[in-house]
Amino acid sequence: MISSRFLVLLFIAVGKALSMQGRSFTGADTLLPTWWPSLTFSVSEVGCYEPLGKNRLVLGARGELASDALPLAFTYALVSNKFIDDPLKEVAQKQLLAHNRAVFTYRLHVGGHWPVRRWLFQRPACVGLALEQFNSLATRFSRDAFVTIFYGNAHQAGRWVVYDNTSYLHYRGHRLSLSARQQLNKSEHLLEWGAAMHLSAVQQATALLLHQGSLYTEPNGLFLDASYRFHYTGNASSSRRPLPVAWAGSLDLFGALTLQTTGSWAFFLNDLGLLYWNKGATHYEADSTIHFTGIEVQQIFSPDDSSFFLPYSIDTLLKYLGARQRQAHQLRWIPATVALNWQKVLNDRWRMIVGMVYRFYPDRLPLVYLKPTRQFADIHVSGLMSVGGLAGYALGVDVCYRPETGPGFHLSCENLLPLGAPSTYGTTTVFLKFSWTLP
Amino acid sequence: MRGFCAACSLWLGLGLLVLVSCQRFPEDQPSWDMQLLAPLLKTRLTIQDLLADSLLQINDDQSLSLVYRRNVYQAKLSDLALQVPDTLLRSVFSLNNINLSNQTLVYPYSLGAMCAQLGVLGLIIIGNQGQYFTIPPLMGLSVPENLIDASLFFESAQIKSGFIDITLENGLPLAWNQIVFEIRNFSDQQVVVRDTFVDLSPFEKQTQSVDLSGKYVEGLLVARIIDMSSPGGTVLVDTADAMVLTLQVRDLSVYSATAIFPSQDLIREERQITYRITGGAELSQLQVRSGLLQLRLTSSVDQQLRVTFEMPSAVGPQGQSIAIQVVLPAAPAGGTVSYSRSIDLSNYSFDLTGAHGDQHNTLRSLLVVRMDSTGQLTTVAASDSVAVEYELLDLQPAYVRGYLGQQIATFGPEEIEWNFLPSIRGGHIAFDQVSISVRIANGLGAPLRFRLYELLSINSQQGQTLGLSWDLMGKPLDVGPATESPYQVSQASYQLNPWNSNVAAFVSHIPDKVRYRMDVFLNPFGNSNHYADFAVDTAGLTFGLDAEVLLSLSASDLILIDTLEFSPARPPDPHSAFVRSGVFTLHVDNGFPLQAALQLYFCSPDFQIVDSLFTSLQMIAAASVDASCKVTATQSSQLTASISEQKMQRLWGTEKTIVRVILQTTASDLCPQVKLYEDYGLDLRLTGSFTYYTGN
């Protein structure tokens, strides 16, 4: 909390200093307002008015719970560390597909951007600095994997269950972002481009890639047959650990072209980068089959302190799985996002935005959305309709109050359907941003 | 409406979660229950696992015998007769040999001096100096007293023995018929010497010795001629002529004296101490493992003394002898001075054969107390003494040699544990072939004779006893002596078998204790080794019972109970995973020709039974046997235990498990007894179908 307050004061100070430069912008040297307010794409934010030529401080948050199979009631219980009872599991199981995907992310953001008079090509630019706390979890899993994990293998006795292509990536930490964007303002068009660099200090990062996995449970439990090929990377970190266990570096690229006749086209490429585990990371990999008939006990009358009925530990399990363990640094791509959007100003009050966005992991299909916006003075109200992505289809709403100067806010939800049916719909987002635009 | 409210709260919660609770993730975790079905444990139990390996013996046909060795009685050298008692010897040596040096005093008695004491006649004689003068016969002459001063040698002495030699040399030309001579103490006027010289011719010398024993003599004496008589005659008068009196004291030994004593040994005494060792042992050699010699000297002599104490028969580990030399200072008047010292006797060797090598148990010691001459007058009395105390403490023999003596030691009645089949708590078992060997090992170099009077099998569980009957019960069981070079323990073994005893019934009685009573007779034939017995402290004697039972048996309702420090479930830590409930199945492939009923009781730390594993009788079927009564195929059984959540929680508080097995051989005319072989075993696999809480 102290550090956040310090950052706000820092941004105000930097902003005031930079605004002394930008106060004399005029004509071609002036940055025009834009409808693509952030270099990091989100359906909620596109189409919201952003005066680039002014100093702004921003405090925002975005969270997402999304799954193409798991209902929100289930995933919410999961991420809020509740006890998952059988009715909740049944609700989820009914909607399972052969392969399922889920995402849970949140991001807390504090930052600001300021115009500078001369930058690249001796042209004005808007530079930004932001600090974020983030948590990102994405997974793909088979129906059998869900049943095994949440119900146990007793329900699957007597048949082979398959876990192929089950994967998992979770990392969380803090991210420092530097961004810059410029405009080429011609009479017939406005060309915008921008880039952002992110450096993340990761407090926890685990990744599982189960390329192939199957399990057979003998109906009386006399043996387990398993076949698997997996890679797992993790660490034993905690939030109390002072040093990061991994680092991440990524780029955001943005380009937009606004034509007076056809509207505005924008392209986003976000989170193009790598996650790097340092040497303390533990890496397990195995490509094997086992026939497990129980742990061999040499001295049944002199058992150790472990529980008789459950003498397993993670180490014991990995030993029986024949996993090779090594400790070395690891590198992995961060799931990137690509988005393409088109916006057309219909009249003084209405605008229309159409776009497509795709996360390379774990989305099954691109999300195609339609976002009509009605402007009431400084208030912009949008509806959101989308198909694809993890939601299948979604209906959302977006309210943005963005005056020329002074405080503003932005509240958005990309899918309101779970409000009425949390046991049916599995995807929603919440976006909340407060901003302060200096004169 | 309810769904809408739930969704709203969910949506708001999601927002709050994003804004507020991010730090909780992922330290906390969601939790749920899983139904797991899995094999848990597997093991194979053979008879070696059920009984300690050391008890089992594999026979040629791979059948098994149970061997149980138990020492009933063990004793070492110190437990037997050879205990050297603590010994305190106190000797007081009086000064019975105080000597004074010989001294000689010469007193010339000139004619002139003599005439001066003779009155008128004396004057006439003096008047004829240088002339011949006819002296008339003299009768009844006496000479006045003359002092003899010997105080340079002693002031006084109470004479124990000694002599004074009185020599009278007549230097006068006159013959004497008789001279009566007397010497008295100056102070008390006691006559020390009165003697008479007769017929002393001119220039003749006569000597007489006088015994001074018992007399008190002072250093200042008075000598006097009481009576002198002479026949007279014509003589050339020369007043310088003299009679010379020589007094020589010699060989003076005094009771007490104040004198200048010469250097002398006041005490020189060699002593022999003979031990009495119980059992009549007569030892010629003793090597000490540990022990102490405590020496204390006390003197009342008013004179510095040099004391030497030696034990000539002791030799230390480095070949050194025990010799203590100490200077005792003069004792204060009426008081004493003391000196004490301890000597560690560890590894000392004692020759106990005495000064001439023909004795036993005898220690020699020598004490010399010497007084140096100081040239000063000193009073020493025979009542003064030097006391010597020496004590032999805690002598532990390491080796003894000689005759160990004859004695009988009785042991028992005493009960000892007999853990032959420790887990069996009830039922009946009959073994086919049983034997017991009475094993006697004698590490002493002397023959022993045991007599076993009683051996009682005690089955505490059933409260029953059974006495061993044996042909040799109460009869002598002899074992010869161990040999010394090379050292070898003598062994003797006596076999108990079904023909000379009820040994089969004794073992089948399944004793957990036995009670015995016996005695051991050392050297039953007396000194048959002619003083060549020996014993070392590391050796002793052992009386043991070796039981060997072929595991060919018939059992009915044989109850085995064992207790394990084991709990099937621990109370879970907060947030940790645990098993809620489940059904656990024990799959048994039995390779033993025994059927078993199994039950496990889970107990609190103070052995209060909290719950049992099975709610109904669960049987393990016996393996099939062929005509030769050997197992041909294992038999499978499943034992199922259902543990509810409540039951599992009850088990959280348990710490001990009692295993109760009831064994039974399958009754058959063909195989009344079944033999157990090495390859027989029990394959156990535990599977569980259980509800597992993942923890959070």
Q: What digits encode the pLDDT tens for the residues B27-36?
A: 568 899 999 9
First to last CA, chain A: 27
Answer yes or no: is pLDDT of B459 > 50: yes
Nearest CA in chain B to A147: B34
Q: How many CB atoms lie within 10 A of CB B32?
A: 22
Probe site for chain A from B23, B40, B583 (most A CB atoms < 10 A): B40
Residues 6 or more apart whose CB falls under 8 angstroms from that of B239 comprise B110, B111, B112, B115, B125, B126, B129
What are the strands, taking DSSP E only, across B329-384?
Answer: 337-344, 349-351, 362-371, 377-381
Average pLDDT over residues B423-448: 84
pLDDT given at position B20: 43
pLDDT given at position B16: 45
pLDDT 10s digits, B566-612: 777 676 777 778 888 899 898 999 998 889 998 888 888 888 888 88
Instruction: Measure CB to CB from residue B35 to each of A152, A224, A301 and give the nearest one.
Output: A152
Are residues A154 and B37, on separate chains, in Cβ contact within 8 Å?
Answer: yes
Chain A, window 52-71: residues with a beta carbon less than 8 angstroms from a chain B beta carbon:
61-63, 65
Are residues A413 and B34, on separate chains, in Cβ contact within 8 Å?
Answer: no
Are residues B49 and A422, on separate chains, in Cβ contact within 8 Å?
Answer: no
Instruction: Measure CB to CB from residue A217 to each of B37, B578, B579 and give the nearest one.
Output: B37
Interface check for A315 against chain B (CB to CB < 8 A): the answer is no
User: Tokens in use for B34?
Assistant: 């899983």
Interface check for B45 against chain A (CB to CB < 8 A): the answer is yes
Are residues B689 and A298, on separate chains, in Cβ contact within 8 Å?
Answer: no
Cα of B69 to nearest chain A Cα, Å = 24
Buried b (16+ CB within 10 A) or exposed e, B145-165: ebebebbebbbbbebbebbbe
Interface check for B27 against chain A (CB to CB < 8 A): the answer is yes
First to last CA, chain B: 32
pLDDT given at position B26: 43
Chain A, window 91-110: residues with a beta carbon less than 8 angstroms from a chain B beta carbon:
106, 108
What is the rounded distance in angstroms from the CA atom of residue A52 to the CA atom of residue A99? 43
Are residues A80 and B689, on separate chains, in Cβ contact within 8 Å?
Answer: no
pLDDT 10s digits, B343-394: 899 999 999 998 888 889 888 888 888 888 777 777 777 777 888 888 888 8
pLDDT 10s digits, B196-244: 888 888 889 999 888 988 888 888 888 888 888 888 888 888 888 888 8
Instruction: Measure CB to CB from residue A292 to each of B39, B45, B690 and give the nearest one.
Output: B39
Probe site for chain B from A300, A304, A312 (most B CB atoms < 10 A): A300
Which is it for the CA torsion B147, B150, B154, B159, positive or negative? negative
CB B212 within 8 A of CB B252: yes
pLDDT 10s digits, B306-344: 888 888 889 998 888 888 889 988 888 888 899 999 989
Are residues B37 and A152, on separate chains, in Cβ contact within 8 Å?
Answer: yes
One-letter amino acid of A73? A
Instruction: Measure CB to CB from residue A420 to each of B3, B23, B569 and give the nearest one.
Output: B3
Answer yes or no: is pLDDT of B667 > 90: no
Rg of chain A over all Cα atoms, to the nearest angstrom: 25
Give average pLDDT by consecutive 10-residue segment, chain A, 439 residues.
45 46 45 85 88 90 93 90 92 92 94 86 89 94 94 94 93 95 84 95 92 94 93 68 85 92 92 91 89 78 49 63 84 94 90 94 92 92 94 93 90 92 90 91
pTM (predicted TM-score): 0.63
Cα of A341 to nearest chain B Cα, Å = 27
Chain A, window 139-158: residues with a beta carbon less than 8 angstroms from a chain B beta carbon:
149-155, 157
Vertex B441, ends B436 and B447: CA angle to 5°? 125
What is the rounded distance in angstroms from the CA atom of residue A400 to the CA atom of residue A405? 14
Q: How many alpha carbons lie under 13 Å from residue B218 in its C-beta half-sphere?
A: 16
Interface check for A173 against chain B (CB to CB < 8 A): the answer is no
- ipTM tops 0.95: no
Are residues B685 and A420, on separate chains, in Cβ contact within 8 Å?
Answer: no
β-pair partners for A296 = B42
Cα of A307 to nearest chain B Cα, Å = 5
Cα of B349 to nearest chain A Cα, Å = 52
pLDDT given at position B3: 42
Answer yes or no: is pLDDT of B2 > 70: no
What is the rounded distance in angstroms from the CA atom of residue A25 to the CA atom of residue A27? 7
Q: Give residue for tokens 């000490």.
A: B288
**Interface A:B, Cβ pairs < 8 A:** 185
pLDDT given at position A309: 47
Query: Cα dist. A222→A145, A154, A292, B38, B682 in Å?
Result: 21, 12, 9, 7, 16
Cα of A188 to nearest chain B Cα, Å = 42
pLDDT, averaged across chain B: 83
- Using a CB-CB cut-off of 8 Å, the residues of chain A touching B33 are 86, 152
Are residues A79 and B25, on separate chains, in Cβ contact within 8 Å?
Answer: yes
User: C-alpha A319: how far from its chain's center?
Assistant: 34
Are residues B21 and A432, on separate chains, in Cβ contact within 8 Å?
Answer: no
pLDDT given at position A371: 95
Q: How many CB atoms lie within 10 A of CB A111?
A: 21
